[in-house]
Amino acid sequence: MSLKKFKPTTPGQRHKLISDYSEITTSRPEKSLLASRKKSGGRNNSGRMTMRYIGGGHKQKYRIIDFKRDKMDIPATVKSIEYDPNRTANIALLFYKDGEKRYIIAPEGLEVGDTVVSGKNATPNTGNAMFIADIPLGTTVHNVEMTPGKGGVIARGAGTSAQLIAREGKYGILKMPSSEVRMILTTCLASIGSVSNHNHSLSVSGKAGRSRWLGRRPRVRGVVMNPVDHPMGGGEGRHSGGHPRSRNGIPAKGYKTRSAKKYSDKFIIEKRKK
């Protein structure tokens, strides 16, 4: 999917750079796979604001996505590639041979009319879901499970992918999008290919209003607050700041917050590069 640049007829159009949505084949989602999505405005069940900078935005419906890919050995045909307001990647509508319809995250290169399948008998073609034990080494994958049967959690954002680089015993060794190298059980499922809409990170909104459409309110810097509101607030003019830290005092820029005794550390072979 390529990016579209606009003539600078207004200040908002001058730097605007968005997707041309050339891969999207329909603007009408499948009604049976929609769910209501209520906005909280950052408030909890008592009505108190617990998350700042959230509110407003266009009304949206949630698309129910099949992250588990657990319909084994039943082929499905890609009916459409659609936009999903809840994620950066595009989604694909599948019509299974037994009549069921499901949404999946659309990989790069998947087109309307293609056939995808999950299970032991699947081949390493784009969009198919296979067990890590059966995937050829060096293959690019996405929507990778960390616990067998729980559903994919790794590499689901636009343009992301992981790579299967080795297998040792009951574990496959994957290189993550963050460059971390870790072990995943070979009984976990992963989808073949990289996630679609890889140009998403290059887009430029062009104006503040586009963030408001997405439900994002203006974010206020800590240094312009008063001392009562933020540890970096206060001071005359621009003479403020101090050590970079969050509103509740946790240092930023290099301070490690990961637990030294975290259970999953034993599965990490190489930490992500800073």
**125 and 230 together in one domain:** no
The pTM score is 0.91
**14 and 138 together in one domain:** yes
15-44 residue pLDDT tens: 999 999 999 999 999 999 999 999 999 999
Q: Is 108 exposed, middle or buried (0-12, 13-18, 19+ CB in 10 A)?
A: buried
**230 and 176 together in one domain:** no
The CA distance from 157 to 241, in Å, is 34
Q: The tokens 């891969």 sit on which residue?
A: 23
- Determine contact, residues 119/76, Cβ cutoff 8 Å: no
- Per-residue pLDDT, 274: 72
Output the domain CATH number for residue 191: 2.40.50.140
**252 and 155 together in one domain:** no
- Per-residue pLDDT, 144: 97
When pLDDT is cut at 50, 70 and 90, the band that residue 90 belongs to is very high
Q: Sign of torsion, CA 223 224 230 231?
A: positive
Is 212 inside any structural domain? no
- Can you say whether residue 248 is alpha, beta or left, with left for phi > 0 and alpha for psi between -120 and 50 degrees? alpha
Q: What is the DSSP letter of 210?
A: H
Is 151 inside any structural domain? yes
180-189 residue pLDDT tens: 999 999 999 9
**55 and 130 together in one domain:** yes
Decide which of 166, 201, 236 is a domain's last residue.
201
Per-residue exposure over 177-189, b if at least 16 CB sit within 10 Å of its own CB, e if not: beeebbbbbbebb
- Determine contact, residues 172/186, Cβ cutoff 8 Å: yes
**227 and 192 together in one domain:** no
Q: What is the DSSP letter of 117?
A: -
When pLDDT is cut at 50, 70 and 90, the band that residue 103 belongs to is very high
207-227 residue pLDDT tens: 999 999 999 999 999 999 999
- Determine contact, residues 164/139, Cβ cutoff 8 Å: yes
Is 273 inside any structural domain? no
**23 and 148 together in one domain:** yes
When pLDDT is cut at 50, 70 and 90, the band that residue 10 belongs to is very high
Residue 239 has pLDDT above 90, yes or no: no
Decide which of 152, 168, 201 is a domain's last residue.
201
164-179 residue pLDDT tens: 999 999 999 999 999 9
Structural domain boundaries enclosing 185: 3-201
